[in-house]
Chain A
């Protein structure tokens, strides 16, 4: 005899535990669906509103003056690419360098703890604050060649936004590299520099690249830091030291204009931006696949 009631082995859906199980599974499924719903709706809506406007002319021409039809967002696409590239050129070396320092040289000291904490705080700083900060530091002081708004200032603002992501992913990726690999390299007489540059960093490459691509994708879509720094321009980019157009600021400016043509361009721009960010995310996933091999 046991002290428990033994039931039949057949599944009985009417039992309270089985009903609860079903109910909670459905609830969890429903909330999951709700969580991805915004993504699907946003992409579908932007596809619907902007997708039909995509033509070669749109991708290659300048926006029309207010009141006229036609034109394109070529300068904004180019501008976004330039500003994001500037940001990446600043944030990737600094961020990867900081990540290497944290993971390889100072993993436990007070300074490393302080930097890690600071990185987390920086990740939480609202992007508009980054914009105002760079405005105060570079734009209003006319730091570069007595120019105020410039593509370079925009790139710096985006770089500040990208930094925490790049530092954190590098730090985490390097910490995941097995210690034995470092010992192995040291064991055949590699110096610290050779160990890091030839063994540890390549082993963590795909994770770091994934983080960098995600950071770039995030920065490419930012508006607030660019409003105060890169401003906008209805013309083609004129070097790094002049105001430059970008897709996010174009959307911000054009979506509220009382002209049909400009509103259509804002939709088209949204579409191009979403597709670019989507592609960057796919690229990141593709890069991430190499980490297992």
Chain B
């Protein structure tokens, strides 16, 4: 496992992330492959969302959050001094747990990212293409000037995905994108992810193990353990392998217990 392995999109080397003095997750080593879907699963508080947010420096926006270790993207350390976090987020997009469209029209929601990124080209065409990719075009093509808030939760989440892919990132990070959605919307988003993985690297955090099985190629199982240094709990990466391996023949007992529902 050399860091320069050609298929690696992200390489995490001994990553520990703390909020203030409280260590949330420690000692994570992993290589996230390019062009595939990687799922993070694990119980609440195990730090999977924290690790996900570290991949595009979203943690910078949370006060007191600090990272030790190295996060390499294309063999470049994302946390080195000369890296511009704004540029990082332009290449590594993100979809959040709660749908968070801007209080603007559907059209503007997608055009916003393109405009601020200096998009030169046909904006109408870009909006249509992004909405089509997010399987939202048919539902919204007649009301592009309507506020994004008027859409249902599932549509809003697909709008957020369309917004993320409109700026043509290389990677899309998804933080429990379906946790606030009904099963039908969830299914639509999962179908869409199968389409998206042809052109993007996707990393998804999910609480739904069936979803991890359905959409992902690789799965990382995070677990919480008692912190030996203090009374608190700390998250760690328990096991990281092909999704099939994790769910059918996990190497760790904790993984086995979790994926078979015998956890705790």
Contacts and interface: CB of A to CB of B under 8 A. Distances in A.
Nearest to A188: B113
Among A107, A185, A189, A191, max chain B CB count under 10 A is at A189
Nearest to B110: A188
Nearest to B95: A187
A190 interface: yes
Given A108-B63, A194-B116, A293-B147, A187 B94 contact: yes
Interface of A: 107-108, 178, 180-191, 194, 198-199, 202-203, 293
Nearest to B100: A180
Contacts of B247: none
B102 interface: yes
B166 to A, nearest CB: 8
29 contacts: A107-B63, A108-B63, A180-B96, A181-B103, A182-B61, A183-B58, A183-B96, A186-B58, A186-B89, A187-B93, A187-B94, A187-B95, A187-B96, A188-B113, A188-B117, A188-B166, A188-B167, A189-B87, A189-B89, A189-B90, A189-B117, A189-B167, A190-B113, A191-B86, A194-B116, A198-B112, A199-B102, A202-B103, A203-B102
Contact of A188 (B63, B103, B147, B163): B163
Contacts, number: 70
4 interchain residue pairs of minimum CB distance = A189-B90, A188-B113, A180-B100, A187-B94
Q: How large is the interface on B (under 10, 10 to 19, 20 to 34, 35 or more residues)?
A: 20 to 34
Interface of B: 56, 58, 61, 63, 86-87, 89-90, 93-96, 98, 100-103, 112-113, 116-117, 147, 149, 160, 163-164, 166-167
A190 B164 contact: no
B242 to A, nearest CB: 29
A108 B63 CA distance: 9
B100 A190 contact: no
B103 to A, nearest CB: 5
Given A178-B100, A184-B163, A189-B116, 16 more contacts: A107-B63, A108-B63, A182-B61, A183-B96, A184-B100, A185-B102, A187-B58, A187-B94, A188-B112, A188-B164, A189-B86, A189-B87, A189-B117, A189-B167, A190-B116, A191-B116
